[in-house]
A and B are shown apart, each in its own frame.
Chain A
Amino acid sequence: MDNIVGQRSSLTWLVNLCAVALVLLWTIPTFGLLVSSFRDRDQILSSGWWQSVFPQEATMQYRAGAPDTAVQEGGLFVIAGNVFEGGGGVVSAFGITSREPGAFAAGEVAQTNDGYELTVAEDGSYRLTSATPFEGTRGERIFVTTTQPPTFTTENFARVLNAEGLGRGFLNTLTVSIPATVIPILVAAFAAYALAWMDFPGRALLIAAVVGLLVVPLQLALIPLLQLHLKAGIGKSYLGIWLAHTAFGLPLAIYLLRNYMAGLPRDIIESARVDGATDFQIFLKIILPLSFPALASFAIFQFLWTWNDLLVALVFLGSTQDQLVMTGQLKELMGSRGGDWEILAASAFISIAVPLAVFFAMQKYLVRGLLAGSVK
């Protein structure tokens, strides 16, 4: 509608500004976590993710070589080395006490309490000299203020997938969500066909019941079903959670599919009937292929819902480390590793990567399903 007369162009920049603001507000939190998942642990804790592309300033403590590593040069005893020990960085200041870790600029010469002379160069090489032999067994403490180049790493991901057991959780989540997505489709499709194209007493009542069941809170079903599963010998197992997810997804599936099927042209079905096709044949050969968009919409919904679900998994699956799905593991991590943002960020991104990929690949069907699924 942007070519209608009267849409003032002076407003265009305001509209654009508004859109930019909204998009930024809605993406920045996710982006922040994404950036953090690639950052080094120390850098996450010492600066905000928005500063991650700039060099990081940090203070660290280093212990110089032990006295027995000293060499004699002329009349002096010397201990030399590099505070970075092979790593990179630039020293801007150093000190000899924890109270004043940056008392001297790089290259200056400092006098220690024991009468030694210490100097640390910008590249991190230090030189500790003394006229008399060094005493004691431990090396001198050196405090350096360094500027580290920004470092990005994929180590966090490797670490959470293996050491934190998220790889296992990924498989568990996959195990839960694939059958729980596939199975309800067929069950619902048959029911939806009956509700859309077959005439029988009580049909309207059943449709109303399905609409009603759409909003039943899951909380209500948890305890009775858990008792039921325990009594039936299913207990806390994949079979139980597949059944639960299948049933919980059915109202939406039936509702979406029925609406879609009821909208298909009557002529096709009537003429097939006239040609002697049975309802079973009509359903399999005509209705099911034609309903593909609605089936896809529901499949996406159900997949996102089962993949992202926490409540059903917590109640219907066991809670040992081997049995947890990814959302359950994330919840545990938030409790036990609350401050370890590199672990949380990487874990969160592994768990949301698949739904995001599905979202961007199938957005069209998702939108279509939403439009059909909201009770008008």
Chain B
Amino acid sequence: MEQFFGAATTIVIGVGGCLLYFFASNLLLDRLFPASGPNISRNINRANAIRPWLFLLPALILLALYLVYPLFWSIYLSVMDAGGQRFVGADNYVWMVNDPKFIESMRNNILWLIVVPAFSTFFGLVAAAVTDRIRWGNFAKAMIFMPMAISFVGASVIWKFVYDFRPEGQNQIGLLNAIVEAFGGAPETWLTHEIVNSFLLMVVLIWIQTGFAMVILSAALRGIPEETVEAAILDGASPLQLFFKIKVPQIWGTILVVWTTITITVLKVFDIVLTMTNGQWGTQVLGNYMYDWLVRGQDSGRASAIAIVIMLLVLPIMIWNIRNARREMR
């Protein structure tokens, strides 16, 4: 109860405080530079120059403190020792490139980066194309989209159950091994099977992200001008040709956006690996490896260095996004 009281108080203070701040600061501004009297035009100009910053201030403070400052402080920590006390130069980075676990994480992250966006986008495209053409399309869409609402941890439980293993001779209770046995194969402890296990973890993320890809791509497909489609049909294009040669090229930009958005999610992947294998049996990824050094290793230097690597991988997409956004605003 006490914590609910705390939460309710916080909501009231947070929302009320915000309103009070905006109201009071605007009032103060109007008092300081009243839109009347001898200096009316100068006052209005000054008030108009200051007011945007009053509106922006709380957001800017939070963004600066919680997102911009950590960026620079992480760079600083990454050249310090485990406790952040002593300058060690590039030691953490040198350690990193020689660390087999880090190299394994990089290798896996690259695999994830190729496989997950590719399959999610592909399945999303297929799902979008298919569900747009059937009567129960909306229901089908909702079902494929549903995993979006499930937490990564929840999804991990769901899929770990699918991959469950019972020794041969017992009834398999995991769907995957049951299917394998039905086709005459021997059951496997899939999650300890190197390389295969990484792909099985990727399946979880693909399963979650396909819905996102489908929703965006479906909207893009509907936005295609009908004349181009009709012209192609009149020219005798087959449905497959129509899809791949007429429709897909026209939504290429959207496909790219979906791809990069999923790429960002993949770079930060953490929960799935932590809960399903905790990086054992060759499944480590950067996000979980960083957490490992932060919590288990208690080494803010190495953990920060790994975080910087993740940031560097995100950077090209960040720049690309900013350029696109600026082009669009012009």
What residues make up the interface of A, taking CB atoms closer than 8 Å to B?
1-2, 4-8, 11-12, 15-16, 18-19, 22-23, 26-30, 32-33, 36, 44-50, 171-172, 174-175, 178-179, 182-183, 186-188, 190-191, 193-195, 198-200, 203-204, 206-225, 227-228, 238-239, 242-244, 246-248, 250-251, 254, 278-280, 283, 304, 307-311, 314-315, 327, 330-331, 334, 341, 344-345, 347-348, 351-352, 355-356, 358-360, 363, 366-367, 370-371, 374-376
Contact = CB atoms under 8 A, between A and B. Distances in A.
A179 B4 CA distance: 10
Contact of B154 (A47, A238, A348): A348
Contacts of A187: 18, 58-59, 62
A171 B4 contact: yes
Give the size category of B's interface with A. Answer: 35 or more
Nearest to A311: B270
28 contacts: A2-B133, A7-B233, A12-B133, A19-B140, A22-B127, A23-B143, A32-B162, A32-B175, A47-B171, A179-B7, A183-B11, A187-B58, A190-B18, A217-B287, A219-B291, A221-B66, A221-B74, A224-B70, A224-B74, A228-B69, A242-B14, A247-B66, A248-B67, A308-B152, A331-B153, A334-B160, A351-B154, A370-B212
Interface string B1-26: 00110110011001100110011001
Contact of A223 (B19, B77, B211): B77
A152 B310 CA distance: 46
Among A27, A210, A212, which residue has the most Cβ atoms of chain B within 10 A?
A212
A5 B253 CA distance: 28
Q: By DSSP majority rule, is chain A's interface helix, strand, loop, or mixed?
A: helix
B200 interface: no
Interface of B: 3-4, 6-7, 10-11, 14-15, 18-19, 22-23, 26, 30, 48-49, 51-53, 55-56, 58-60, 62-63, 65-71, 73-74, 77, 84, 123, 126-127, 130-134, 136-137, 140, 142-154, 156-162, 164, 171-175, 178, 207, 210-212, 215-216, 219, 226, 229-230, 233-234, 239, 253-254, 257-258, 261, 264, 267-268, 270-271, 274-276, 286-287, 290-291, 294-295, 300, 303-304, 306-308, 310-311, 314, 317-318, 321-322, 324-326, 328-329
A156 to B, nearest CB: 13
Contacts of B14: 179, 182-183, 186, 242
Nearest to B276: A334
- Which of A47, A179, A210, A224 has the most chain B CB atoms closer than 10 A to its own CB? A224
A348 B290 contact: no
A327 to B, nearest CB: 4
Nearest to A17: B130
B144 A26 contact: yes
B63 A251 contact: yes
Nearest to B207: A26
Contacts of B230: 4
A18 B134 CA distance: 10
A341 B161 contact: yes
Nearest to B160: A334
A310 B155 CA distance: 12
A371 to B, nearest CB: 5
Contacts of B145: 359, 363
